């Protein structure tokens, strides 16, 4: 086949800092359409990344119905993911939708169903699967090094890291705060390592304590407490049908010093693993630790899995993984091979996140399945 013709819907930070940057690394991809409600953003992205005659518009329907386009990227607020994705699939396009898959599990299910009905590929932007430490740990899990993984923790914790741009604090458009924004990555990584997508019971708590206070120390600048509509921290416990248990910790603002984002801990019958550096050393890169018992003694093995938080271009390491993500995505379309991030898997992540919010609101555990 010739070059992929791509339409970008939503031209904000994620589109420019992650997906469009990654696509420039391939010579078989052309971005021929840019859509954003703020026309100036679409124009700026088209000028930097588009073909000379690229379509620039404000209505996504102009993009999904354009015959020449093969692939649609959806980088819009969470509340519009399902609507745009389903429309694109129904028009015969392959779709890469940014995380989280959707605002609700019903919307996510509609996306899965549309993909199956259309015969087109749908994937979700979980680029943390492509980090060097994640890939190393996944290979160890697949080789059986940890045995049966029956306990895990998914970390998505920031001390003061409230995103102050876009619509992140808008509950209607986003569906929530750090749980749906950050924990979605850590939970996806955890379920992928465990290869367990059968949750049974979910218990959750959310808090809106610090968001209403504001903070001049926020790493992304001060926010308006009056506009803060979502939780500032959320925690969940998930028990699976086989008895395995996962704990989820997430925050944009939390009074604790030791915070970690998009990291996981696993405990198995043969060994355990986490993404922390050797004890006593700073987190100056990407690491994997394996621990267990051998020959009557406890051991810890440390693996360096990446040189730092940034790649050679200066992009954040989590976005450096987006090049691998883009390559895997386009290769799967070209060669008609299996997706790395499957929509059925992302659907389960959305179900669990929704159940945590439901449990927090009701004060009761939520049964699934």
Among the ranges given (105-114, 256-265, 297-306, 315-324), the one the predictor scored with the smallest mean pLDDT:
315-324
355 pLDDT above the threshold of 60:
yes
Q: Which fold has domain 129-316+349-367?
A: Dihydrodipicolinate Reductase; domain 2 (3.30.360)
User: Which tens digit of pLDDT belongs to each residue from 45-89?
Assistant: 999 999 999 999 999 999 999 999 999 999 999 999 999 999 999
Please report which helix (H) or strand (E) contains residue 292, including its range. Answer: strand 286-294
pLDDT at 316: 55
Domain(s) of CATH 3.40.50.720: residues in the chain:
4-125
Please report which helix (H) or strand (E) contains residue 133, including its range. Answer: helix 132-142
Q: Which fold has domain 4-125?
A: Rossmann fold (3.40.50)
Q: What is the mean pLDDT of residues 220-225?
A: 95
Q: What is the mean pLDDT of residues 27-48?
A: 98
Transcribe 90-106 into DSSP letters: HTT-EEEEESSS-SSHH
Tokens 């998930």 sit on residue: 238
Q: What is the mean pLDDT of residues 138-152?
A: 98
What CA–CA distance (Å, rounded) separates 339 from 313? 27
Higher pLDDT, 310 or 342: 342
What CA–CA distance (Å, rounded) separates 357 from 360? 5
Q: For 141, which DSSP code?
A: H
Q: What is the mean pLDDT of residues 190-209?
A: 98
pLDDT confidence bin for 366, thresholds 50/70/90? very high
Domain(s) of CATH 3.30.360.10: residues in the chain:
129-316+349-367
pLDDT at 279: 85
What CA–CA distance (Å, rounded) separates 92 from 198? 31
pLDDT confidence bin for 146, thresholds 50/70/90? very high
pLDDT at 320: 64
pLDDT at 305: 82
Higher pLDDT, 277 or 355: 355
Q: Which of 52, 114, 49 is nearest to 88 (CA)?
A: 114
Higher pLDDT, 107 or 283: 107
Inter-residue contact 93 to 70 (CB < 8 Å): yes
Percent of the chain clearing pLDDT 90 (strictly above): 89
Q: Which two tokens stand for residue 116?
A: 């199956």
Q: Which of 147, 220, 158, 165 is nearest to 185 (CA)?
A: 158
User: Which tens digit of pLDDT belongs to each residue from 268-307?
Assistant: 999 999 999 888 887 778 899 999 999 999 999 999 887 6
pLDDT confidence bin for 159, thresholds 50/70/90? very high
Q: Strand, coil or helix: what is 360?
A: helix
Q: What is the pTM of this model?
A: 0.95
pLDDT at 240: 98
Q: What is the mean pLDDT of residues 206-223?
A: 95
What CA–CA distance (Å, rounded) separates 71 from 353? 28
Q: Which two tokens stand for residue 353?
A: 């996140």
What CA–CA distance (Å, rounded) separates 19 from 288? 27
pLDDT confidence bin for 313, thresholds 50/70/90? low
Q: Which of 272, 233, 239, 222 is nearest to 355 (CA)?
A: 239
* Helix and strand totals (H; E) in the chain: 12, 15
308 pLDDT above the threshold of 70:
no
Count of CB atoms situated within 10 Å of the CB of 333: 18
How far the first Cα of the chain sits from its last, in Å, is 42
Q: Strand, coil or helix: what is 187?
A: helix
Q: For 244, which DSSP code?
A: -
Q: Which of 206, 162, 166, 161 is nearest to 78 (CA)?
A: 166
pLDDT at 284: 76
């Amino acid at each position: 086949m010739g070059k992929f013709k791509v339409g970008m819907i939503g031209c904000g930070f994620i589109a420019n800092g992650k997906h469009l940057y990654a696509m420039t690394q391939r010579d078989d991809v052309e971005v021929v359409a840019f859509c954003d409600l703020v026309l100036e953003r679409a124009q700026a992205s088209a000028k930097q990344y588009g073909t000379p005659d690229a379509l620039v518009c404000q209505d996504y329907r102009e993009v999904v119905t354009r015959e020449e386009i093969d692939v649609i990227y959806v980088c819009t607020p969470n509340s519009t993911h399902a609507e745009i994705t389903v429309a694109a699939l129904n028009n015969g396009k392959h779709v890469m939708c940014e995380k989280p898959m959707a605002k609700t599990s019903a919307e996510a299910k509609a996306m899965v169903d549309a993909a199956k009905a259309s015969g087109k590929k749908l994937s979700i932007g979980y680029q943390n699967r492509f980090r060097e430490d994640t890939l190393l740990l996944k290979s160890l899990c697949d080789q059986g090094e940890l045995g049966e993984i029956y306990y895990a923790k998914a970390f998505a914790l920031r001390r003061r890291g409230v995103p102050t741009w876009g619509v992140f604090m808008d509950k209607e458009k986003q569906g929530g705060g750090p749980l749906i924004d950050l924990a979605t990555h850590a939970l996806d990584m955890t379920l992928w390592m465990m290869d367990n997508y059968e949750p049974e019971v979910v218990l959750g708590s959310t808090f809106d304590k610090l968001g209403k206070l504001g903070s001049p120390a926020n790493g992304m600048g001060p926010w308006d407490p009056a506009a803060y509509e979502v939780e500032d921290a959320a925690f969940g416990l998930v028990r699976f049908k086989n008895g395995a248990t996962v704990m989820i910790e997430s925050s944009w603002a939390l009074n604790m010093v030791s915070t970690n984002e998009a990291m996981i801990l696993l405990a198995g019958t043969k060994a355990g693993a986490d993404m922390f550096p050797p004890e006593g050393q700073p987190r100056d890169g990407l690491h994997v630790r394996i621990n267990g018992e051998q020959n009557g003694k406890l051991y810890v093995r440390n693996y360096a899995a990446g040189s730092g938080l940034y790649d050679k271009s200066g992009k954040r390491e989590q976005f450096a993984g987006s090049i691998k993500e883009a390559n895997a995505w386009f290769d799967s379309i070209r060669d008609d091979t299996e997706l790395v991030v499957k929509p059925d898997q992302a659907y389960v992540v959305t179900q669990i996140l929704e159940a945590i919010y439901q449990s927090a609101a009701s004060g009761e555990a939520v049964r699934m399945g």
